[in-house]
Structure 1
């Protein structure tokens, strides 16, 4: 994709402590390189802690509180994984509402690894084909999704991938979906 493809696009990354660092940094870099403005949104203020699997990694400054953020302010959403991150996000009603609103507004969303846990809590996976880290398979099926073991799946503007090895395909497909914008057939 050309750098022009995401010009004028503002993409939210929703995360909190315990996000898998590479699942934030690689898409962040890819979207910025494609011309997007990227914004780190979190229920925490200040900085949030990344991890490399189960080891602490770097901290990252939060740009905007999810408590004051609105899906209307963004053209798309990225949900990085990590075990602790989505588990905490799904317990935060403002985070869950923020995610749900992207679907209500038919905006593209990209979630990788454990990121779909937050999608389950937002009740937006029913009837969708998705992938994730394998341990989420039963949770996603119980929430009404069709789970598949594929590198990258896109269903009506929802991009999902399994793990950091899938990041090249995940980033490419996310850029494509964010460039398209609204997804008229995407429903909650």
Structure 2
């Protein structure tokens, strides 16, 4: 299955991009790096520059229906940039309208708040987003991973890089529940 990873041109937390990417590849899925601009994105390891990664598709060329799921890696700057981009917000909203799984880690739920898709859902995040999520109508829990099955589609969230193992396991479990996805 093709899985979109939506990231800004810079500011994504590298481990939150690379570890789920590797887990999906290892399980036979096809991760696709989607960004607002073509070229390469600049990842970060906390506040230090990390590696660069080639963009596979831009938002202008991507259709949510072409993917089985969406992964939103964190990093403070990454979701902050994306939540100001109407195309990124609409891209996220489309996955929820289509009932496709969405996985977000660390600060990435800021983009979910902006997309107005957390209302009545239970999720987790980096602790500083707790009030934003509650103010947007979500139910915030401090847990390594939360899987909210509220229709339509599942929302998988985690708090931080230390939770990546359980985050990846939950994402793979959710994808296995939908083996007939049209984006296979």
Query: What TM-score do the two structures reach when normalised by structure 1?
Result: 0.91
The aligned counterpart of 1:122 is 115
Choose from 148, 152, 158 the match for 1:161: 158
Aligned residue runs from structure 1 range 164-179, under 5 A: 164-179=161-176
1:107 aligns to what SS in structure 2?
Answer: coil
Aligned residue runs from structure 1 range 1-188, under 5 A: 9-16=1-8, 17-156=10-149, 157-181=154-178
Gaps of 5+ in 2: 180-184
CA RMSD of aligned residues (A): 0.9
Aligned pair count?
A: 174
Gaps of 5+ in 1: 1-8, 183-188
* Alpha-carbon contact 1:47-1:60 (below 8 Å) kept: yes
1:177 aligns to what SS in structure 2?
Answer: helix
Cα drift, residue 131 of structure 1: 0.2
Cα drift, residue 105 of structure 1: 0.3
Q: Deviations over 1:56-107 (max 9, x none)?
A: 1000000000122111010000000000000000011111100000000000
Taking the aligned partners of 1:124 and 1:19, their CA distance within structure 2 comes to: 21
The aligned counterpart of 1:6 is none
